């Protein structure tokens, strides 16, 4: 996820980006969150619902979301509904 956010063209201070970094601290806004969510879907195969995107304000929020999806898959033997 760090690589994906660092590679996003509008991210500032790419070297300073950490899991705990807020997107806002790196020049990103809510529209960029949408773009990042679409990139996560395209590159990693995780669909993030429009209702979830507004709470993904830090890199670790994206990581936590992906971990929760993986845990759900493991426990239920299917992907959650997006």
**Beta carbons of 6 and 14 less than 8 angstroms apart:** yes
CATH number at residue 56: 1.10.1200.10
Answer whether residue 46 shows pLDDT above 90. Answer: yes
In a domain, 46, yes or no: yes
- Answer yes or no: is 14 within a domain: yes
pTM as predicted: 0.92
Structural domain count of the chain: 1
CA distance 42 to 16: 25
Confidence category of residue 34, pLDDT binned at 50, 70, 90: very high
CA-CA distance, 68 to 43, in Å (whole number)? 18
Quickly state the pLDDT bin for 82 (edges 50, 70, 90).
low
Residue 57 counted as domain residue: yes
Residue 81 lies in a domain: no
Q: How far lies 27's CA from each of 33, 51, 70, in Å?
A: 11, 22, 29
What is the span of the domain harbouring residue 61? 2-76
């Amino acid at each position: 996820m760090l690589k994906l956010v660092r590679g996003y063209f509008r991210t500032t201070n790419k070297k300073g980006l950490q899991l705990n970094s807020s997107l806002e601290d790196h020049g990103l806004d809510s529209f960029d969150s949408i773009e990042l969510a679409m990139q996560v879907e395209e590159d990693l195969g995780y669909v993030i619902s429009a209702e979830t995107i507004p709470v993904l304000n830090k890199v670790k929020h994206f990581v936590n979301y992906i971990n929760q999806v993986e845990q759900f898959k493991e426990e239920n033997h299917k992907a959650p509904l997006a």
